Structure 1
Amino acid sequence: MMTYCFESRHQSALCGQSPEEVVLTNQYIPLSIAENMEMEGDGTRSPNTLEDTLRTVLLRNRDQARVVMMLGPAGVGKTTTMQKMLLDWAGREELEEFDFIFPFAFRDLTLLEQEMSLEDFILVQHGHFTSESLAVILQSPQSLLFMFDGLEQYQYRLESTSHSALCTKPNQSAPVSVLITSLVQGELLKGASILITARSTASLSFLSDIECNHVQILGFSPPQRKAYFDQVFTDPKNAEQAFQYTEQKMGFYGLCGNPVFCWIMCFLLKETLETGDDLPETLTQVYVQTSASIFRAHNLEEGRARDLVLGLGKMATYSLGNSQLLSQKDLADSGLQQFLMSPLLSAFLFLYGDPASDNCMFSFISPIVQEFLIALLYYLDITWSGGESVEVLLGKLEGSVKFLDVFLSGLSDAAQRKPLEGIVGEFSKDRTEGLREWLKNTTVQSLQFLSYKRPLSYYRLLHQSQNPALVKEISDSQAAGLGRYYSELSAWDSAALNYVVMCCGGRDELHLHSSLNITGEMTLHLIPAFRLSRKLALLQCTLSTASYVHLASVIHKGRTVELDLSYNRAMGDSGAKALFEGLRDCSLQILRLPVCGLRAACCEDLASVLALPSTQLHVLDLRSNELQDEGLIQLCRGLRSPHCKLQELRMTSLARAFDCNLTDACCEGLAVALLSEGCSLTELDLSLNDLGDSGVLQLCEPLKFQGCSLEKLRLVNCQLSEATFRELGAVLRSGNSRLTALDVGLNKVGNTGAKYLWQALADNHCQLEHLDMEMINLTDGSLEDISAALKANTSLKTLVLKNNILTDASVPSLVQLINDSRTIQKINLQYNDFTEDVFEIFETCGRVKY
């Protein structure tokens, strides 16, 4: 015999459809769960749909107790899913391996205070069984499934108990909490399956000693949400509009996966689309407009509406610190007895039992409604809770609330609270002004700390308050702070940050740093702010391919002149290809892409971009991407174009683990590009590539011609020998070279190789202003050449000789040379073989770094 009374709830705008209606009218939409990455014994992955997961876990290893915890927030569909499972079982569509399923609601078990046996416990809840038939049923525990719904509503604590205190026989009497624990721990009806639903893991300490499977329900995925909206709206056009609007305006709150929230949005958008009223822009407006609609439907006069809200707010506060299940006494203590028989009460509370009975219990339909009512109470009753400030209130309730500060911020805005204020009366002016002052002061204080997260949490509240003047006031006092670095953004943070930046009219610089998993949705929220930023930096972020598409739209015909995507290793050629589309017509002048996982394949697209007349790119940083010779050869096609405006190209390696892997094979094509009439390159960095003498000698040829525009050349650690230094010296003496900066450190040529550059410095054709010869094995034997060079040279401003083998003996002469020089502004002699004995000599010259 298979019978079960499905749970029937009053349907309201704030609580959604009842599980009974959803299940029995075939409106149930399967829910998504957190992906289970554990491997099964046969090496396959566990299923990641709710129904498949529950079925697999419950039917696995049927000789042992199988305990499954189905977790998820209020309104996510736990009860409805459980009832759908029961319906499918009764129709032999699912779980047919179980002969009997026994469902229980924890709130009903709270009333069972006396000790009883498991047999009596089942008969109290399922009276259609006889004692005789039940005794036979319980003899086959492997065929039984016990379902317990709503653990958070059980007022008695379930604790891990010693085996001696547990029940082992169905006819043994014990407190109900012990019966449940005995079932779960497998001492009673060993082999039976147990399914428990709960909002969180906070009450699961009694499961610590047993093997338990956790299934986390996420709710509706985007396709499931779309199916839900299509189901609720009869007009497909309205369904699409409502779905897209909800995704765009409410998606970042993390609530759209919740079926009850989807129901609220459908209810509200149906109404506003029909009346032509303004659509809600914030979460506060959603709950204000929905509550106002409920009150209007019941035509309650202002005084009674205010009394109801005040009473609900007081009971909501009490419930946070005490119990989710509330009694008739709690109702009376909050001044709500007068509304006991009113259908309006069930718009905010679930009623369990006959309202006229002392055993009737109540609970708020969701924590978020509870917090909304507390926020209303704060503004409507200034005497409540001793008239404490918002800071004290939030501190007292910290850890118990999630959206209270959001609602407090939103309700401080007159436009947002207006629909409800006309029904329940005016809000306290002192408290709305106090909230704005608190929000201003706390935001300013947060911007003075180095923490990335603190300002973002207040930006959320600023976004909710919809007060551009307040944001501008904060911005004017903390101009530098708003241009700070932000990291670890959520979708909500993205929307809030965009709002703040837009209120300020944009920023010169906007930095995001180490934000993992920046989705296309998050980037979409930030597009307006990005478009108003002249410098945009997203360092060490993990951007999706869709994010690069959105970034391309940002820089296309936008005002951004610098884009820094350093260390986005997952970009790869696919992300780069999407990004480069935006470069074809834009104002971008500086593009930094070091360590972005780029390969040679992307260079063809980049070369074609460089050759376009519309491209304004002046600086291109491609350090530590494995572009290899093929990639640079492709780029040279762009460099040769008369339309190419590139002035700086960096293709060095930041570390050997991230090489560009360039060799001498690319140097011929680069030399040709440097000689081409259209090439405007003035700075080239090829450090830490194995170019060798054969490669760099090819590059020296164009440097001897006046047509070559190159002014700065870095060839650090390129495996160069004396032959190359000899040729570089000849270039500097040629009279045609424009080189003003040369870095050739970490090429171990010693005094003999360096001699060619010292000789060049002494030549009046040499225009070098900066020379770096770090770690090339210079000794005191080079002092005579250095002296001759510095005495004759009239252009050199900085000289780097650190990490060589110079000793104390050379110090007096070097210091004297610098003191006598009219041009040298700085010489770096760090990490040579100096002792402390010469530090006093160094101190006599402020231009020496030692």
Structure 2
Amino acid sequence: MDKSSILAHILEPEGSTSLLGGELSARVVNQEKYISPLCTVETDSPVSLDDAFQSALSDDVKPITLIGPEGSGKTTALERLVVEWAKGKHLQKFSCVFLFRLKELNSLNAPLSLQSLMLQHHGHVTPETTALVFQRPEEVLLVFDDVHHCRESLDPLVQTTLCSDPSQAVSLSCLLASILHGSLLKGAAVILAAGPTDCLDFLSSTALLGFQKAQREAFFNMFFSDPSVAQKAVTHMEKTLGFYDFCTAPRFCWTVCSIYRSLMDAGRNLPETLSQLFVEILVYLLGTLSLSEASNRKLVLTLGKMATHCYLEQHLSCTREEMNSFGFQQLFNAASVFLQAHGDQADRFAFHSQLILDFLVAVSFYLDGVKCEGVMDMLKKQKPFADFAGAFMCALAEPAQRRQLEALLGEFNSDQIADFKSWFKTSSEKTLEGIRYEEHLYYFHLLYEAQNESLVKEIVTPSARMGLSFGGLNLQQCPALKYVLKCLDEVQKLNLHMTKNMTEELAESLAPVMTMAHEIELGSSTLSAGAVPHLASALRSGLTKYLNLSNSGLGDEMFEVLCTGLNCCGLQTLSLVSCCLTKKSCANLALALASTSSQLSNLNLSFNAFGDEGLIELCKALGSPHCKLQALSVANCNLAGESMKALSQAVISGQSQLKRFDLTSNYHFGVSGVEALCKALQHPLCKLQSISLYCCELPGEICRPLMEALMSEHCLLSELDLSVNELGQEGALLLCQALKRPGCPMEKLGLARCELTQPVFKELGSLLSSGTSQLKSLSVGLHEVGDEGVKYLWDAVAHPNCLLEDLDVEMTGLTDACVKDLCAAVRASRTLKNLELRNNSLTDESVPALIQVMQERPNMVELCIRYNEISEDVFEILEECGRINY
């Protein structure tokens, strides 16, 4: 083949470029301004498209399918591939390379053969060349661009007939299907490039990703001759637009660079939002036409009619007849900067992108003479989550944002603006009352485009802010959220629960909002290593008092970085449940707790298997005069008696402020561990007031040291949970003996599923009515003592000395026979507020009496009878009493 002819053909720019259409491919290749976009092959990580081509074409022969949206660089990449071959740089194993553009070939209605296709559409090809091609197909590379323009399926299994003769005339789709099948020119390499299409689903494809951040930086440096100007431009784009998917398109990057250059040359500020960018684009394009205000308005109104039609019909192009109906007869030349010829015979016209279409819909909405009821219907139905028409309309409703356009087009319609603002305010306020965060973020995006701080404060009311949650937030949504929250000046709670993609880039973007948040919720999230420094920095410089990182898989290394923020911040509550922390993290945490600036008072480290060694490290901080920790939860942390001794020493040091200690589900510290705690409770310097030993497999032997502790005048323990342990009758009776001590501070006691008996219930009843007990909450569920056993408690509740507010007798074998005593107790009690009766054997027969007593006792907050033998027949009357949970 004559490679010089191929180079001349490809490198000769044809047609004119448009600000919206991107720079001509031939000019990019000719001036060596090409930057290879990224792609993914099947599920692999992004790679350079050049590398993907080289790798694929060196392997066994199979079709390469390149799929990417318009403007993503497919055509430029293919033309450069052919140029590099023609220059002898790559792919020299091929003696012939053919590039076909189906957008042009599709206009051919008559059948054609592969031979005639090569001869007619490659002027540098001779009959002698085609003869060699058909003799040695393994040396041939066929490149087909714009394959999505093909009219019929290319799947060989769908085609009714296939061709094997290069001189046989067939349809274009049959020709391609035959090549893909191998019946025609078997052994030739094939590249197919298409926009998003279903016609190539039968082939595995390479997805064109376009430019990521690094490629955009290279593009800007190539576009601007001055490196400092290039850096300023790319930094601004990444900040204001880089989070949008369409910023990956080389065409869009070229448009942005062109606008930025014109603004910089004029000494003007760069746009801060997408809406402002498209205002500048429209102003620039109208400026190139040098029309009067009336002509500008007429042109934009006509384009708006077309855009609105396409928007409502959900397509990008219109026929010439439709164009004439919109009034384009005298405006085709002026409109050419906005449109491109489209279709088989250039008989259709389309906007260069969905974005310019959406923008013209918004502009025309506010111009006189254009009625856009259908557009408002689309907005009211909440359909435009995937487009930008609503965002552009929200922006142009603001005087500052539309001022430039009104100078060129005349004033916008005030009634249309008022109608939109009324809808927007009502719709957004209603949406923010709901719980769908995707809808919240959509309206935040509209507010971001409007850039009106007072509007944000008017719409996002204090009540609305409390329900906002943004788990699953991505980088594209982040700027809108950040803008809205910054407008509110202060954030009570930044709820990012279950954010599975907290990357360094996302955390960096959110950092300014984190510094404003009093509470940060990141439970069940996945933080990258690069995200943690931004979180630590936000803690150091921010207002955060509460941070939840539970179930985040943080690990020792990332936690060490986080501790750089914990050492000097105002954090008061930190939850690190199930964060894969070890002894090393406990040592780092101890240093933070003992720092002079530490404010941490509530720490949850449950479900981290750091064991005794980890807790012993923490105890070093508890003995520090700077440590302010008052509540510590180490549930299920593999603790044993040795760490209890260290903790006991810490809490009697005179420095410890610890008051609440949760040891739930630690199964190994046994009697010796409890004995160590009990000795500490008797010390005059011990401040412990609440201990949970829930589900620790403890025997009844622990009750004697507990009794001794509770009998001590120095014991301050007011809450004790011993539920789900094997205390038995003897141990429980010892506890009751201690609880009768005058002055015993115990107010909340948990004894659920502790193998209690009727004598224990009798003793508990005596305790409650003794006049010395301070108990306000008692849990004794999961004991089959029946009506007779629980009657001791009903009698006690009715006694004037009883101070109980909460009583839990779940699954104690209660029947309808107890209801008379139960109701009498509730009526007589001056203090009871909550009664838990679930999982018993009450039936419909008891319901009327229970409803009556609840109606008579307005001080009762809740009566729970769930999972009893209550039928649906009484649900209706139960519904009338909202304080009965059934």
- Structures share a fold, TM > 0.5? yes
Query: 5 Å matches for 1:63-102?
Result: 66-102=62-98
Deviation at 1:705, TM superposition (A): 0.8
> How do 1:349-364 residues align onto structure 2 when only pairs under 5 Å count?
349-350=339-340, 362-364=349-351
Q: TM-score, normalised by structure 1?
A: 0.90
Change (3 A) 1:482 1:497: farther
Q: What is the rounded CA distance, in whole Å, between the counterparts of 1:667 and 1:362 in structure 2?
A: 79
Note closer, same or farther for the CA distance 1:625–1:276 as it changes in structure 2 (3 Å cut).
farther
1:408 to 384, 387, 393: 393
CA distance in 2, matches of 1:12, 1:361: 18
Per-residue CA deviations over 1:634-654 (Å, capped at 9, x if unaligned) read: 11111111011111111113x
AA aligned opposite 1:348: F
Deviation string 1:435-493 (CA, Å, 9 cap, x unpaired) is: 222222221222233322211111111111222232222223x6235542222212232
> 1:190-247, CA deviations, whole angstroms, 9 ceiling, x for partnerless residues?
33333222232xx32x444x4x221112222222222222222222222222222211
What SS does the corresponding residue of 2:63 show, helix, strand or coil? strand
Please tell me whether residue 140 in structure 1 is matched to residue 136 in structure 2. yes
Structure 1 distance, partners of 2:698, 2:500, is: 41
| Residue from 810, 833, 852 that aligns with 1:830 | 810
Count of aligned pairs: 820
Q: Which amino acid aligns with 1:508?
A: Q
Question: Are residues 268 and 652 of structure 1, via their aligned partners in 2, closer, same or farther at CA, if it must alter by over 3 Å?
Answer: same
Matched residue, 1:751: 729
Structure 1 residue 92: Cα displacement: 3.0
Cα pair distance change 1:460/1:534, threshold 3 Å:
same
Partner of 1:559: 543
Matched, 1:13 2:25: no
Structure 2 counterpart SS, 1:256: helix
**Counterpart residue number, 1:26:** 32
SS in structure 2 opposite 1:529? Answer: helix
From 274, 279, 288, give the equivalent of 2:270.
Answer: 279
Q: What secondary structure, in the 3-state scheme, does the structure 2 residue paired with 1:491 have?
A: coil
Deviation at 1:363, TM superposition (A): 4.1
Tell me: CA distance 1:832–1:682, structure 2 relative to 1, closer, same or farther (3 Å). Answer: same
1:288-299 to 2 correspondence within 5 Å?
288-299=279-290
Give, in whole Å, the separation in 2 of the partners of 1:158 and 1:335.
Answer: 39
Q: CA deviation at 1:849?
A: 2.0
**Partners of 1:649 and 1:683 in 2: how far apart?**
6
Q: Counterpart of 1:379? A: 366
Moved more, 93-102 or 582-591: 93-102
Structure 2 counterpart of 1:41: none
CA distance in 2, matches of 1:224, 1:99: 32
Taking the aligned partners of 1:759 and 1:396, their CA distance within structure 2 comes to 68
CA contact (8 A) 1:328 1:358 kept: no
- Measured in 2, the distance between the counterparts of 1:94 and 1:372 equals 43
Matched with 2:863 is none
Match for residue 633 of structure 2 among 650, 667, 671: 650
> Once the 2 structures are TM-superposed, how far is the Cα of residue 739 of structure 1 from its aligned partner?
0.6
| Residues in 1 aligned to 2:354 and 2:284: alpha-carbon distance in whole angstroms | 20
Letter in 2 for 1:349: L
1:362 CA drift (Å): 4.8
Residue in structure 1 matching 2:708, options 720, 730, 745: 730
Shift in alpha-carbon separation, 1:588–1:754, aligned structure 2, 3 A: same
Q: C-alpha displacement at 1:136, in angstroms? A: 3.6
Q: How has the CA–CA distance of structure 1 residues 162 and 798 changed in structure 2, closer, same or farther, with 3 Å as cutoff?
A: closer
* Cα distance in 2 between the residues matched to 1:498 and 1:322: 31
Q: Distance in 2 between matches of 1:47 and 1:797?
A: 63
CA contact (8 A) 1:152 1:324 kept: no
Give the structure 2 partner of residue 656 of structure 1. none
Residue of 693, 697, 703 corresponding to 1:715:
693
Larger deviation, residues 255-264 vs 836-845: 836-845
Kindly indicate whether the alpha-carbon contact (under 8 Å) linking 1:691 and 1:719 is maintained by their aligned counterparts in 2. Answer: no
Contact persistence 1:693–1:719 (CA under 8 A): no
1:43 counterpart residue number: none
Take 2:717 and 2:599, find their aligned partners in 1: how far apart are those partners?
24
**Residue 456 (structure 1) aligns with:** 441
Counterpart of 1:69 in structure 2: which amino acid? Answer: T
CA drift of 1:740 comes to 0.5
Partner of 1:171: 167
CA-CA distance at 1:326 after TM superposition: 6.0
Q: 1:434 to 1:696 in 2, by over 3 A?
A: same
The question of 1:306 aligning with 2:297 is answered yes
**Unaligned 5+ residue runs, structure 2?**
827-831, 838-886
Q: Which runs of 5+ in 1 are unaligned?
A: 39-45, 654-659
Residue type of the alignment partner of 2:493:
E
* Counterpart contact for 1:486–1:512, Cα < 8 Å: yes
**SS of structure 2 residue aligned to 1:678:** coil
Which runs of 4 or more aligned residues in structure 1 lie more than 6 Å from their structure 2 counterparts after TM superposition?
Answer: none
For the 8 Å contact 2:726–2:754, the answer to whether it is kept is: yes
* In 1: Cα distance, 2:591 partner to 2:804 partner: 42
Q: Which residue of 1 aligns with 2:589?
A: 606
Matched-pair contact (CA < 8 Å) for 2:586–2:617: yes
Identify the residue that residue 872 of structure 2 maps to in structure 1: none
Q: Would you say the 8 A contact 1:762–1:788 is kept in 2?
A: no
Counterparts in 2 of 1:788-799, with a 5 A limit? 788-792=766-770, 793-799=772-778
AA matched with 1:116:
L
CA contact (8 A) 2:85 2:92 kept: yes
- Measured in 1, the distance between the counterparts of 2:40 and 2:642 equals 51
Q: Is the 8 A contact 2:211 2:250 kept in 1?
A: yes
Q: Which amino acid aligns with 1:425?
A: G
| Equivalent runs, 1:461-610 vs 2, <5 Å | 461-476=446-461, 479-481=463-465, 483-569=467-553, 571-610=554-593
1:61-93 CA-to-partner distances (Å, cap 9, x unmatched) read 32xxx2332122222211111112111222233
Larger RCO, structure (CA 8 Å, separation 6 or more): 1
SS at match of 1:228: helix
Q: Give the root-mean-square deviation of aligned CA atoms.
A: 2.8
Task: Provide the rounded CA distance (Å) in 2 between the counterparts of 1:15 and 1:51.
Answer: 23
How far apart are 1:163 and its partner, in Å? Answer: 4.8
* Amino acid aligned to 1:670: L
TM-score (norm 2): 0.87
* 3-state SS in 2 of match to 1:579: helix
**Aligned counterparts of 1:564 and 1:501: Cα–Cα separation in 2:** 20
8 Å Cα contact 2:514-2:542 kept in structure 1: no
Structure 1 partner of 2:796:
817
Identity, in percent, stands at: 32
Give the direction of change, closer, same or farther, for the CA distance of 1:400–1:786 in structure 2 (3 Å limit): closer
- In 2, distance between residues paired with 1:682 and 1:617? 13
- The answer on whether the counterparts of 1:743 and 1:773 sit within 8 Å (CA) in structure 2 is yes
How has the CA–CA distance of structure 1 residues 163 and 230 changed in structure 2, closer, same or farther, with 3 Å as cutoff?
A: closer
| CA deviation after TM superposition for structure 1 residue 800, in Å | 0.9
Q: Conserved in 2, the CA contact under 8 Å of 1:674 and 1:708?
A: yes
Residues 491, 518 of structure 2: 8 Å contact kept: yes
AA at the equivalent of 1:838: C
